[in-house]
Chains A and B, each alone.
Chain A
Amino acid sequence: MKITLKDVSFSYTDSIDDAILKDVNLQIESGECVVLAGESGSGKTTISKLINGLIPLYQSGTMAGDVFLGDKNTSDMTLAEISKYVGSVFQNPRSQFFNIDTDSEIAFGCENLGIEPEEIRRRIEKTVEDFHLESLLGRNIFHLSGGEKQKIACASVNATDPDIFVLDEPSANLDLKTVDDLAEIIKLWKSRGKTVVVVEHRLHYLRDIADRIIYVKEGRIECEWTPAELEAKGPEYAASLGLRSIKLVQLGGTGVSPAAQRGESITFRNLRFAYQRKFPILDIPELSLPKGKITALLGHNGAGKSTLAQLVCGLRGSWSQKRAARKLGTYLIMQDVNHQLFTESVLDEVLLGMNPKDESAALEILDSLNLKDYVEKHPMALSGGQKQRVAIASGVSSNRNLIVFDEPTSGLDYRQMLAVSATLKALANRGKTLFVITHDPELVLNCCQHVIRMDRGRIVEEYSL
Chain B
Amino acid sequence: MKLDPRTKLFLAIVANSVILSAPPVYSVLMFAVPAILLLFEKKWKFVLAFFSLYLAAVLGFEHLKTMDVGRVGTLAVSTMMIVSRMMPITIVLYYVMQTTKANEFMAGMSRMHVPNKVTIPLTVMIRFFPTVFDESRAIGNAMKMRGIRLFSLHTLKNPLTILEYRLIPLLVSITKIGDELSVAASTRALAPDTRRTCIVPIGFHVQDAVVFVYCIAVIAFVVVSHI
Asked if A pairs with B, the answer is: yes
With the chains together, A183 CA to B58 CA distance in Å?
58
Closest chain A residue, CB of each to CB of B168: A342
With the chains together, A80 CA to B189 CA distance in Å?
4
Chain A, 146-177, contact with B by CB distance < 8 Å: what is the 0/1 string?
00000000001100100000000000000000
Q: Which A residues are in CB contact (< 8 Å) with B130?
A: 100, 142
Contact at B187–A342, with CB atoms within 8 Å? no
With the chains together, A272 CA to B130 CA distance in Å?
28
Partner of B102, one of A54, A104, A331, A343: A104
Contact at A111–B197, with CB atoms within 8 Å? yes
Q: Which B residues are in CB contact (< 8 Å) with A341?
A: 168-169
| Surface stretch bound by B, among A90-98, A185-193, A366-374 | A90-98
Q: Which A residues are in CB contact (< 8 Å) with B187?
A: 52-54, 79, 82-83, 86-88
- Report if A319 contacts B (CB, 8 A): no
Closest chain A residue, CB of each to CB of B191: A80
Q: Which A residues are in CB contact (< 8 Å) with B138?
A: 334, 336, 339
- Report if A256 contacts B (CB, 8 A): no
With both chains docked as a complex, state the minimum distance between the C-beta of A392 and any C-beta of chain B, in angstroms. 13
Whether A342 contacts B143 in the complex (CB less than 8 A), given A58-B183, A157-B188, comes out as yes
Partner of B169, one of A95, A100, A339: A339
- Report if B62 contacts A (CB, 8 A): no
- Report if A112 contacts B (CB, 8 A): yes
- Report if B75 contacts A (CB, 8 A): no
Whether A111 contacts B147 in the complex (CB less than 8 A), given A83-B187, A96-B184, A100-B102, comes out as no
With both chains docked as a complex, state the minimum distance between the C-beta of B114 and any C-beta of chain A, in angstroms. 17
Q: Which of A112, A160, A341 has the most CB of B within 10 A?
A: A112
| Surface stretch bound by B, among A116-124, A206-214, A273-281, A450-458 | A116-124
- Report if B134 contacts A (CB, 8 A): yes
Whether A116 contacts B189 in the complex (CB less than 8 A), given A336-B173, A342-B169, comes out as no
Q: Which B residues are in CB contact (< 8 Å) with A111?
A: 103, 196-199
- Report if A60 contacts B (CB, 8 A): no
Contact at B184–A98, with CB atoms within 8 Å? yes
- Report if A300 contacts B (CB, 8 A): no
- Report if A352 contacts B (CB, 8 A): yes
- Report if A426 contacts B (CB, 8 A): no
With the chains together, A157 CA to B189 CA distance in Å?
11
Partner of B194, one of A114, A142, A156: A114
With the chains together, A208 CA to B52 CA distance in Å?
61
- Report if A27 contacts B (CB, 8 A): no
Contact at B181–A96, with CB atoms within 8 Å? yes
Q: Which B residues are in CB contact (< 8 Å) with A103?
A: 199
Q: Which A residues are in CB contact (< 8 Å) with B124?
A: 98
Partner of B135, one of A96, A112, A339: A339
Partner of A338, one of B127, B131, B176: B176
With both chains docked as a complex, state the minimum distance between the C-beta of A342 and any C-beta of chain B, in angstroms. 4
With the chains together, A83 CA to B187 CA distance in Å?
6
Q: Which of B171-203 contact A (CB under 8 A)?
A: 172-173, 176-177, 180-181, 183-191, 193-201
Partner of A339, one of B127, B139, B181, B190: B139
With the chains together, A100 CA to B98 CA distance in Å?
10
With the chains together, A380 CA to B186 CA distance in Å?
27
Contact at B141–A315, with CB atoms within 8 Å? yes
Closest chain A residue, CB of each to CB of B124: A98
Q: Which of B100-143 contact A (CB under 8 A)?
A: 101-103, 123-124, 127, 130-131, 134-135, 138-139, 141-143
Q: Which A residues are in CB contact (< 8 Å) with B181?
A: 95-98
Contact at B176–A104, with CB atoms within 8 Å? no
Q: Which A residues are in CB contact (< 8 Å) with B169?
A: 338-342
- Report if A308 contacts B (CB, 8 A): no
With both chains docked as a complex, state the minimum distance between the C-beta of A454 and any C-beta of chain B, in angstroms. 21
Contact at A107–B103, with CB atoms within 8 Å? yes
With the chains together, A223 CA to B159 CA distance in Å?
57
Closest chain B residue, CB of each to CB of A120: B199
Q: Which of B101, B124, B187, B197 has the most CB of A within 10 A?
A: B187
Q: Which B residues are in CB contact (< 8 Å) with A88?
A: 184, 187-188
With the chains together, A109 CA to B199 CA distance in Å?
11
- Report if B67 contacts A (CB, 8 A): no
Chain B, 140-167, contact with A by CB distance < 8 Å: what is the 0/1 string?
0111111110000000000000001100
With the chains together, A428 CA to B183 CA distance in Å?
40
Whether A98 contacts B101 in the complex (CB less than 8 A), given A111-B199, A142-B130, A331-B145, comes out as no
Whether A353 contacts B165 in the complex (CB less than 8 A), given A78-B191, A80-B189, A334-B138, comes out as no
Q: Which of B61-115 contact A (CB under 8 A)?
A: 101-103
Q: Which A residues are in CB contact (< 8 Å) with B147?
A: 353, 398
- Report if A84 contacts B (CB, 8 A): yes
- Which B residues are closer than 8 A to A by beta carbons? 101-103, 123-124, 127, 130-131, 134-135, 138-139, 141-148, 164-165, 168-169, 172-173, 176-177, 180-181, 183-191, 193-201
Identify 13 residue pairs between A and B in the complex whose beta-carbon atoms are under 8 Å apart, listed by A's number. A79-B189, A80-B189, A88-B184, A95-B184, A98-B184, A99-B103, A104-B101, A109-B189, A111-B197, A112-B190, A113-B189, A315-B144, A394-B146
